[in-house]
A and B are shown apart, each in its own frame.
Chain A
């Protein structure tokens, strides 16, 4: 992100002189980082091999979308960290998305999904992805009808759910089951926290110290998932693309419209108000969910609008005390988290912290793409 680069350049000199500002003595009242166990499995959607197999196919299948071109995998590409490697995600054809595509790896552990926690389970998240105007733009009746014409799916749905005809609600359950297998919990950090002291380098151990201490990351990125799953405004700057790209401007306004802001706000707003769209509370403007940090190595760019392309930029951003957006300077609100202050990290400390962030990622999660089964005519019922 160019904005942050410039600022950090300007501030670098100043920061060195600000001795201890920004040291957060967190850690006493927050859960420490911990190795990650297995994800919770809801009682009403138990895992089974056949369901996971089906869910994987459906995750890849663009027929679960409006014009049969855009499946989950289109924006959650396995070789792009199971997200999409651009600041703003690609959108449904004819559109661009307005947020960064999140990884689906480890989404199984989260209580709420999306950058502002708009979905309360993977089962509820999938339909809003498949149906959203700038995502899948599909409709239930069309998608459900398509499934019925794929004999292989009829078989797998029957085996998974016992139905004669596939139900679209079961498609979301199968996808959720597949996502529950995209687990990343054997990272160097997990190994270290389980007792393998050699799993982290000396530099990474210094970074961990900083993470828990001087840099104050642990205040929000805590517990086994490295997130408190709460919402904060760090002052991540608005996407530059909104000022430059007609397609992005359309989506920006559409999202305001679709999320039901007041007419007055619709006219005025120029930045993503985040959690505000859910709560309609001014104090929530510009707040986004603390992301989990595992698999980070593969999921650039970072932040809700992909403002930063590498982790050094992210750490420098924190080091300078976050940034400015329309909800920090009073244009719309003043909601920046008081936890975000200049940290006074030296260049070496920045490097140590960045090295430590690497420990949140293990081997890349590679899977064999499924073969998608074709449509076939339905046998005539009279001749059955």
Chain B
């Protein structure tokens, strides 16, 4: 973690409270009534436009080689189509890149829910994290000040001159524009199979107890017994990234860990019962975001549904409410049809994507000695 501009430990403390309050399955079928469309979020258009350019700009990473969009690709629902994400050059990722669509409606972020404050902090984390963008934000600020387009955009957005602080505001403003629209579910145009699937989702299959609310997540963490992705531990470039992450997060005995401990970092328990809990993801836009789960272990929605039908995976601390569902093959297909009906229009138009060329080098400021820095 870059020392400048990062407060991850502090943020961890803020989100620990979440873990303690896991709602018991079955007692509440939460949010069933408000599973309607995601309400568009009001944004400041100029700030969001600025955030959009920043999101697609490689110069926001330490060696100017990758941008947010390298991993969060518009055509892939702002994920990357890989089981495990890429990383900053020199490293490789150990988790699946989540979609950013509707991320502004979440209460906490990342597969382990380690940030529970706001997208401003998430943005800083992404920019400064060694294996994500490895950027010293002071250098980033000076790069932005060198680009006349940014100087104007920051000013027009009411931010004054380019600064770290405004970057961390403008990108979240842009992320707020990424909301689902026009899914068959929202438009009321689901197929009969999808409708049957929805009934199962709310009823027999009990999916809605965790996948609740308009964004189909209760923002809580559970152990489903998702199998480990062996590549994390067999590919040294991934394993070492996990070791670096774990060292920073204070995971004990890190050299012997061969399991992504997930949300255990927030609230470690001696008996290991918090190990391998992961955040409930949104179920919107799944059509674009395969493979699935925190480690990309499932390639298709049918595999995911089959996994639930089986009662989840193998883990001694698996959530007790996961039981074999005894769904027929047809019911499983209906459930998949429903999940597919939760995907809307791709957000890959000009409204969401910065299409103009972003320069990769910098022009000199003229009359440099005479102008103020």
Contact = CB atoms under 8 A, between A and B. Distances in A.
Interface in B242-290: 243-245, 247-248, 255-256, 258
A145 B247 contact: yes
Contact of B243 (A145, A266, A375, A377): A145
Contact of A144 (B63, B134, B237, B247): B247
B10 interface: no
Interface residues of B, number: 48
A93 B63 contact: yes
Interface stretch (B87-95, B115-123, B151-159, B179-187): B87-95
A301 interface: no
A250 B368 contact: no
A161 interface: no
A66 B364 contact: no
Listed residue (A67, A268, A377) with the most chain B CB atoms within 10 angstroms of its CB? A67
B353 interface: no
Contact of A137 (B134, B240, B363, B368): B134
B116 to A, nearest CB: 23
Listed residue (B62, B255, B361) with the most chain A CB atoms within 10 angstroms of its CB? B62
Given A142-B244, A145-B241, A133 B65 contact: no
Nearest to B66: A67
A141 B365 contact: no
Interface string B57-70: 00101111100000
B255 to A, nearest CB: 6
A258 interface: yes
Interface string A109-149: 00000000000000000000000011001010110111011
Contact of A145 (B233, B240, B368): B240
Interface stretch (B15-23, B37-45, B136-144, B210-218): B136-144
A176 to B, nearest CB: 23
A319 B20 CA distance: 76
A63 interface: yes
A242 B368 contact: yes
B145 interface: yes
Interface string A222-264: 0000000000000000000011111101110110111000000
Interface of B: 1-2, 59, 61-65, 88-91, 130-131, 134, 136, 138-139, 141-143, 145-146, 233-237, 239-241, 243-245, 247-248, 255-256, 258, 361-365, 368-369, 372-373
Given A68-B90, A133-B139, A141-B1, 19 more contacts: A67-B134, A68-B89, A69-B89, A92-B62, A92-B63, A137-B62, A137-B134, A139-B244, A141-B244, A141-B247, A141-B248, A145-B244, A145-B247, A250-B142, A250-B146, A251-B142, A270-B369, A375-B240, A377-B233
11 contacts: A67-B62, A69-B89, A93-B65, A148-B243, A149-B236, A244-B364, A246-B364, A247-B361, A250-B145, A258-B136, A380-B258
